[in-house]
Chain A
């Protein structure tokens, strides 16, 4: 099956080749876990490695922040914009909603003119300010996702979680609407914070079930090995497995 590769080493392997084309893919995590970096890397790699122009829809963070953050990884977003391969588009959820619903809207026009294949929506959480009714919110998110799919775009939608460590109360309804669901978590191990990534769902495909460590390095996100000998990673405070504890207590002496 054809895949839309993220170009992030390790993540494509976890996704058994990449995301499925024209799907909506949720990346959820606490502030600073790397949601936007993952999304920017997906967009940048799409342009640089796979010749797939991309759009970034931002609802709060100013485009100039993306230009600056991307440049720190050596991704020249301003140059890509000048070349017509990228657009960092700032608007609000209310405008996006009516724009995508209308014929010949700005996003539709932009995507078609550029031949965009990928989009980063940063972040889906902002749609929550449009309504406090969960049923209506799900309908809004569903409409947004379908609008993006209609334009032939493979999307990464970021979503914020409030608590930094441990299980986080999540709006579960969005998980049903999206095609894949990637969780980013902080994990405390031996008085240090590490980051964990888990592919929780990939509709229509098998995927890696390991919880992997990752770091944000000079070239973006780098997926590393899984957490060996630890349990309870997603709780935020993992502990050694019984086998690991036994080895630590008796074998390593």
Chain B
């Protein structure tokens, strides 16, 4: 077994559901920030422009990430008149998964592993 394989195995040593969540849903640092923001402020509904403002980031960077979070079922979108607004999914299972992810992030080892997978996914 080479060093890379060993690291990969070590970094994948986490709850399989959370590992899948990190690899398929979080998969970028902007998404991570957004998920944390909506976890802390769960009843937020707003346009991409305003969400970007809340997150202190550029809307051009945030909007595609929001779209991907919608596609992966973390967020929901709806049209209000001519405005497109985003909010956290109402799906209970997904909300529980988000809660588990944020709670797991309190552990430094978990965070290191999550960062590893996100960087690998971005390559």
Contact = CB atoms under 8 A, between A and B. Distances in A.
Interface string B9-37: 00000000000000000000000000000
Given A62-B54, A95-B85, A102 B80 contact: yes
A91 B46 contact: yes
A69 B118 CA distance: 34
B45 A98 contact: no
A98 B84 CA distance: 11
Contacts of B43: 63, 81, 87-90
B2 interface: no
A95 B83 contact: yes
A189 interface: no
B41 A94 contact: no
B42 interface: yes
A163 interface: no
Contact of B45 (A81, A88, A89, A101): A89
A89 B43 CA distance: 5
Contact of A90 (B41, B81, B83): B41
A105 interface: yes
A89 B85 CA distance: 14
Interface string B30-60: 0000000000111111110010001000000
Contacts of A99: 80
A89 B88 CA distance: 12
Interface in A61-106: 62-64, 81, 87-92, 94-95, 98-99, 101-102, 105-106
A63 B87 CA distance: 14
B41 A91 contact: no
Interface residues of A, number: 18
B40 A105 contact: no
A111 to B, nearest CB: 13
A95 B45 contact: yes
A95 B80 contact: yes
A105 B87 CA distance: 14
A92 B82 CA distance: 14
A62 B81 contact: no
Contact of A89 (B44, B50, B54): B44
B47 A95 contact: yes
A87 B80 CA distance: 20
B46 A92 contact: yes
A87 B81 CA distance: 23
B80 A63 contact: no
A81 B82 CA distance: 30
B45 A106 contact: yes
B40 A90 contact: no
Given A90-B41, A90-B43, A102 B81 contact: yes
B56 to A, nearest CB: 12
Interface of A: 62-64, 81, 87-92, 94-95, 98-99, 101-102, 105-106
8 contacts: A63-B40, A63-B43, A81-B43, A90-B45, A90-B54, A94-B47, A101-B81, A102-B81
The 10 closest A-B pairs by CB, nearest first: A98-B81, A90-B44, A63-B41, A64-B40, A89-B43, A92-B50, A98-B80, A91-B45, A91-B46, A62-B41
